[in-house]
Every structure is written in structure tokens, then in C-alpha cells.
């Protein structure tokens, strides 16, 4: 085969494939341009999922007829002039390929007028031919994209169903609406309004509008700031976690992006608050100098690269941890459980650092009432009922006691000989750090250890320690810090020493567990992420039994207490 030069139309369609993948890609490019134009209102209209029509109208600065024609040519932009400008980019669109790429796979109509001109222009690009005519229109720009991929049938057939394509666009618009609460955004499909987000000075109002009042009411405000780095937004209670990261919205310097780094920082901040496979809800904006972020790493501008990744990771981690410390235990329950109201959003951004561990706050001692299904313990307090998962609660108490080194070591009358499995010799380096748990081990030959002491905690036996060590040895060789290995062993040991679901507890065991919960710091979850307790306040009980003043008096039965 001979080498030859491609014709301009083929080149433009190949280039368009890097930028325009589906209707949501078109909407993203047009939204970027509209926001860069200083718009305060943007309307998006779709027909047939975007196949027939995508129209984005804004009230931004508009363009002259000459500028509109130029914007349809490749490698034209108002955002940069030199290569060095990419290092300090503050706009959303910059590649100079959006409109020409769209025009390569669809018919494009631009109707635009700068506010300073009395007359606008209508520019149509169809099949590579451009026509221009004067046009009366309001200030701003309206871009209409018709018959997307009409001349590339394979790509058109690869599109998902109308509902799926509309869903993608809607998620995109939600992402932009969260990043730009000061801009009014509206999305319509086939004449039906799907989303309307009026301009607001506060992100929390946007969250109520876009995510729903029920979900938004479970969000905590986030604000963290250093000299040149800021993290602001909201994160969700563990009770509203999701099976996917779809509800994680991140924007960097106003640019909606996907960020594995931020997702990893979120996962680290929540830690054991979430069970495996669950992901937190989050809407976080990161602001930092433009020179510290590379936005030119993805053709569709959906990803960025941070030049100081560790600093960004640490900032997100600390910001989310501070927010979670303000969360009352009653909100860390499975979805659908009655919960208390979350802390109010602060008027001023600074946060006061609170204790990392929040105890159960029941307003006084608890009185054990009994077991349910030999798995749950019910107790009564001054403010209502507390239901404990007997295994998870006991496990959490043991885990905290082990890490706090509250239990002195109990020397075994006869040391227990343990055999190291093949490949576990690398764990020998972390043995000294385990002594603070009350686990005293010493090498005995090449592949053996002697267990000489165990923590003096109820349920902790030499057998439980041996099983916990064997579970830890099955993990890959330790690459984390000795402290991380210490936590692994503490979690494995607490799990094996705790009472089990199905165990029938004696009255003494019931009282001991309930007293420990009332007097000590009880974590929200066990080390494996399962909730340890839930509460039902007196107000919750009255609501369930229709004893609140919100119910009509005619429904009250004789002998009822007065309506509140």
C-alpha cells in the first residue's frame, strides 16, 4: 500500500472521534463554551436523545459574524495564544476543536450576537459548507446541532437507547450545575423539562434541587483551606453510600472531571465506616493554582493530572475526615432507618477540629431489655431505644481497647508454638510492634514462633490469637507501616474474640455489654464496616404511633397524652 495524504473531510471526522463520542460529548463542549462566555443562564434542549437535535442557548458575550465563522474552523480558539498558556489555563474550553469536530459529524447552526451590536448573525455549517446571514436575536449564543452522526451510521448505531443517552446528559448537567451554582441551568427533552436549577449563592440549595431533599439532608458541609489549595463541597453520611461512584461529583478549578485520586482519598477518609464495595456520596470542588494542574491530558477534558498529587490527596482526606467528625452517631445507620438532623451548614467557612472518635451519646445509663434473635441486644435509655448488633458492637469495643493498649498482657502458663506458613517470614520484621497489643511473640527456630502472652480481655484466648495471626499471615507480605499491620491483627483478633451472632448471652453478659456501650467510646462501625448500633428516639416512637401534633385530632384515641 502506498502512503498518501487524507482529504480534509476525512481528517476532520477522525479528529472528531477523539472529542465527540455521543450526545453528552456535544453538550459538554457547548457547556464549556457557554460558561467561558460568562453566561448566567444556559438552556439545553434535546430531541430523540440528542440524535435529532441538541440545542444549547446562553446569554453570554456572544460573537460577531466573523468570529462565528472562524470558530467553525480547526485550531481556532479565544482561550490561548501560545503554548505556555496551557500551563496557566483558567478556562474550560481551549482545544480549538469543539465546534469543528461537531460540524464534522452533524449539521451546526450558530445564532449569536454581542450585547454591543444591534444585529446578530446566523451561521450554518452543513457538509463542510458555511453560509452566513444577518439575524435578529437576543444577546448571547444559540448552537443547534442536528442529525448527529447521520453520515457515520456505525457510530450512530453504537449509541445507547434514548433513555440511556438522556441519562448521560442529565448526569453531566448535574455535574456542571454543582460546579456552577451561580448559573441557572435548564434541561429539556422532547419538550419536557427534566431539570431546572435556578441560580443560587449556596451549594446546599443546589444539592437539594439536584439530588433531592432526602439525599441532600444527609450531606455534610466540607471546607478545608491552605495557602494555595482549597477543598469545598459536601460529603454524605455512610448511611447513604452507593454501590458505584456515580454519585461522586468532582470539579477542579470549576472543571468537572473524573479523578481516581480523589476517589481514593475519599475511600481512605471513610475507612471502616463503609462496608466493602460501597462508595460515599460526594460533591467536592478543588481550587489550586492553574500551574499546578495539567488539564491537557484527555481529548474530552474529563481528566486532569495534579503536579502535586500527595498534597491534593492529603487535602481531600483531611477535609472529609473533619466533616465526618461532625456527624452524630444516629446518622450512621443503614438506609431507611430514622435518623437525627445533621449538623447545620456553617455560615463562616472555618471548622473547629473535634475528637476523632465520637461516643454513643444516650443521655445517661442504658438498661438492657433483652436479646432479639440471639443476634441483637435491645436497651432503654433516657432518650429512647438502642439496638446493638452484639457481635459488631463487642468487636468494636475490643478493637478500640486493643489499639489503646488498655489490656495488660496475660502470660500463658505454657507458651503456644506456632508454625509460620511458607512465604510469611517477612512478617517477622513487624513482631516488636505487636507487643503493644498485649501479643508477645518471639522467634523459635527458622519457621516457628512462641506465643508467650495474650491481651487480658474477655474472649481473648491463645486459640483466638493463633487464628487471628493465621488470618493475617494469609495477606500479602506487609508493605504498609508496622502500625497498619498492628491494626490488621487487632481487627482480626477482635472479630474472633467477640461474641457471635447466634450466641445466647447470659444476663451478666448482657449487662456488661450494655454498660460498656454506655460508658465507653463506641465506634460507628466494626473494623469490617458493619454498623454497631442504631437508635430510635422518643420522637421517633411517637411518630410511629401517631402521637405527634401533626396528626389530625380526630385520629386520637381516648386516653392519649396531649398532642405536642
CATH of the domain at 282: 3.30.230.10
Q: Does residue 343 belong to any structural domain of this protein? A: no
Domain boundary among 197, 213, 246: 197
- Same domain as 187, residue 124: yes
What's the pLDDT at 357? 30
Q: Does residue 340 belong to any structural domain of this protein? A: no
User: How many residues does the structure list for the chain?
Assistant: 564
- Same domain as 376, residue 504: yes
- Same domain as 98, residue 35: yes
- Same domain as 228, residue 292: yes
Closest by CA to 266, choosing from 321, 345, 325, is 321
- Same domain as 184, residue 241: no
- Same domain as 232, residue 184: no
Distance (Å, whole) CA 471 – CA 12: 58
HEC sequence for 188-257: EECCEEEEEECCCCCHHHHHHHHHCHHHHCCEEEEEEECCCCEEEEEEECHHHCECCCCCEEEEECCEEE
Q: Does residue 187 belong to any structural domain of this protein? A: yes
- Same domain as 386, residue 324: no
Q: Does residue 148 belong to any structural domain of this protein? A: yes
Contact, 44 vs 166, CB < 8 A?
Answer: no
Q: Does residue 561 belong to any structural domain of this protein? A: no
pLDDT(104) > 90? no
232 or 474: which carries more pLDDT confidence?
232
> Pairing between strand 248-252 and 282-287?
parallel
Q: Does residue 354 belong to any structural domain of this protein? A: no
pLDDT(40) > 90? yes
What's the pLDDT at 415? 78
Q: Could you tell me which residues are beta bridge partners of residue 56?
A: 44, 143
- Same domain as 164, residue 15: yes
- Same domain as 395, residue 317: no
Confidence of residue 351 (pLDDT cuts 50, 70, 90): very low
Q: What sections of 363-503 are H helices per DSSP? A: 390-403, 462-473, 482-497
- Same domain as 284, residue 253: yes
pLDDT(106) > 80? yes
> What's the whole-number average pLDDT of the chain?
78
Domain boundary among 179, 197, 215: 197
Distances (CA, A) of 51 to 32, 109, 149, 269, 478: 20, 15, 8, 42, 53
Query: What tens digit of pLDDT does each residue of 408-436 get?
Result: 788 887 778 877 676 666 666 666 667 77
Query: What tens digit of pLDDT does each residue of 65-74 get?
Result: 998 888 888 6
Distance (Å, whole) CA 487 – CA 321: 19
In a 3-state reduction of DSSP, which class is residue 105?
Answer: helix
171 membership: H or E segment, kind and range: helix 162-179
Domain boundary among 276, 304, 331: 331
Distances (CA, A) of 127 to 5, 149, 193, 307, 439: 20, 12, 31, 42, 76
Query: What tens digit of pLDDT does each residue of 146-181 get?
Result: 999 887 887 888 888 999 999 999 999 999 999 999
Q: What total of structural domains would you count in the chain?
A: 3
Most confident of 300-304, 351-355, 405-409: 405-409
Which residue range forms the structural domain that includes residue 416? 367-536
- Which 8-state DSSP code applies to residue 362? -
Domain of 187: which CATH number? 3.30.565.10
What's the pLDDT at 93? 59
Query: What tens digit of pLDDT does each residue of 256-308 get?
Result: 998 889 999 999 899 878 888 889 999 999 998 888 887 766 555 677 888 88
174 or 344: which carries more pLDDT confidence?
174
- Same domain as 312, residue 239: yes
Q: Does residue 3 belong to any structural domain of this protein? A: no
- Same domain as 110, residue 17: yes
Q: What is the dihedral of CA 235, 237, 243, 249, to 10 degrees?
A: -10
Domain of 507: which CATH number? 3.30.1370.100
pTM higher than 0.75? no
Q: Does residue 208 belong to any structural domain of this protein? A: yes
Distance (Å, whole) CA 472 – CA 475: 6
Please, what is the Cα angle at 243 between 326 and 474, to 5 degrees?
Answer: 90
Amino acid at each position: 500500500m502506498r502512503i498518501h495524504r487524507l482529504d480534509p473531510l476525512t481528517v476532520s471526522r477522525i479528529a472528531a472521534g477523539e472529542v465527540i463520542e455521543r450526545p453528552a460529548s456535544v453538550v459538554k463542549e457547548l457547556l464549556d463554551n457557554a460558561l467561558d462566555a460568562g453566561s448566567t443562564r444556559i438552556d439545553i434542549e434535546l430531541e430523540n436523545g440528542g440524535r435529532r437535535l441538541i440545542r444549547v442557548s446562553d446569554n453570554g458575550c456572544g460573537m460577531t459574524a466573523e468570529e462565528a465563522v472562524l470558530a467553525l474552523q480547526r485550531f481556532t480558539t479565544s482561550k490561548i495564544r501560545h503554548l505556555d498558556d496551557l500551563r496557566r489555563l483558567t478556562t474550560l474550553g481551549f482545544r480549538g476543536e469543539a465546534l469543528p469536530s461537531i460540524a464534522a459529524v452533524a449539521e451546526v447552526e450558530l445564532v449569536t450576537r454581542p450585547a454591543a451590536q444591534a444585529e446578530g448573525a446566523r451561521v450554518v455549517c452543513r457538509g463542510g459548507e458555511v453560509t452566513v446571514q444577518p439575524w435578529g436575536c437576543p444577546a448571547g449564543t444559540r448552537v443547534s446541532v442536528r442529525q448527529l452522526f447521520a453520515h457515520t451510521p456505525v457510530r450512530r448505531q453504537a449509541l445507547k437507547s434514548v433513555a440511556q443517552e438522556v441519562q448521560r446528559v442529565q448526569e453531566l448537567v448535574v455535574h456542571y450545575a454543582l460546579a456552577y451554582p451561580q448559573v441557572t441551568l435548564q434541561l429539556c427533552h422532547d419538550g419536557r423539562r427534566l431539570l431546572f436549577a435556578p441560580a443560587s449563592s449556596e451549594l446546599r440549595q443546589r444539592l437539594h434541587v439536584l439530588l433531592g431533599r432526602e439525599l441532600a439532608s444527609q450531606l455534610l458541609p466540607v471546607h478545608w483551606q491552605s495557602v494555595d489549595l482549597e477543598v469545598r463541597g459536601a460529603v454524605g453520611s455512610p448511611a447513604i453510600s452507593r454501590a458505584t461512584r456515580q454519585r461522586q461529583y468532582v470539579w477542579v478549578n470549576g472543571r468537572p472531571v473524573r479523578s481516581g485520586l480523589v476517589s481514593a482519598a475519599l475511600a481512605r477518609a471513610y475507612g471502616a465506616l463503609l462496608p466493602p464495595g460501597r462508595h460515599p456520596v460526594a460533591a467536592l470542588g478543588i481550587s489550586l493554582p492553574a500551574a499546578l494542574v495539567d488539564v491537557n491530558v484527555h481529548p474530552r477534558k474529563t481528566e486532569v493530572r495534579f503536579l502535586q498529587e500527595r498534597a491534593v490527596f492529603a487535602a481531600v482526606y483531611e477535609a472529609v475526615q473533619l466533616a465526618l467528625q461532625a456527624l452524630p452517631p444516629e446518622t450512621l445507620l443503614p438506609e431507611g432507618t430514622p435518623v437525627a438532623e445533621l449538623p447545620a451548614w456553617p455560615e463562616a467557612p472555618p471548622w473547629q477540629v473535634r475528637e476523632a472518635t465520637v461516643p454513643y451519646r444516650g443521655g445517661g445509663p442504658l438498661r438492657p431489655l433483652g436479646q432479639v434473635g440471639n443476634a441483637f441486644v435491645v436497651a432503654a435509655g433516657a432518650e429512647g431505644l438502642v439496638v446493638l448488633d452484639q457481635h459488631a458492637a463487642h468487636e468494636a469495643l475490643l478493637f478500640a481497647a486493643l489499639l489503646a493498649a488498655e489490656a495488660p498482657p496475660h502470660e500463658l502458663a505454657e507458651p503456644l508454638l506456632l508454625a509460620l506458613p511458607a512465604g510469611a517470614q517477612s512478617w517477622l520484621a513487624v513482631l516488636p510492634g505487636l507487643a503493644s497489643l498485649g501479643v508477645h511473640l518471639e522467634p523459635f527456630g527458622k519457621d516457628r514462633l512462641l506465643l508467650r502472652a495474650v491481651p487480658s480481655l474477655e474472649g481473648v484466648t491463645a486459640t483466638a490469637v493463633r487464628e487471628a495471626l493465621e488470618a493475617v499471615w494469609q495477606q500479602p507480605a506487609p508493605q504498609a507501616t508496622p502500625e497498619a499491620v498492628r491494626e490488621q491483627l487487632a481487627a482480626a483478633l477482635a472479630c474472633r474474640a467477640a461474641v457471635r451472632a447466634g450466641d445466647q448471652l447470659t444476663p451478666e453478659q448482657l449487662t456488661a455489654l450494655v454498660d460498656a456501650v454506655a460508658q465507653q467510646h463506641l465506634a460507628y462501625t466494626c473494623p469490617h464496616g458493619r454498623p454497631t448500633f442504631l437508635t430510635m428516639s422518643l420522637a421517633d416512637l411517637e411518630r410511629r404511633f401517631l402521637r405527634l401534633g401533626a396528626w389530625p385530632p380526630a385520629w386520637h384515641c381516648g386516653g392519649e397524652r396531649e398532642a405536642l
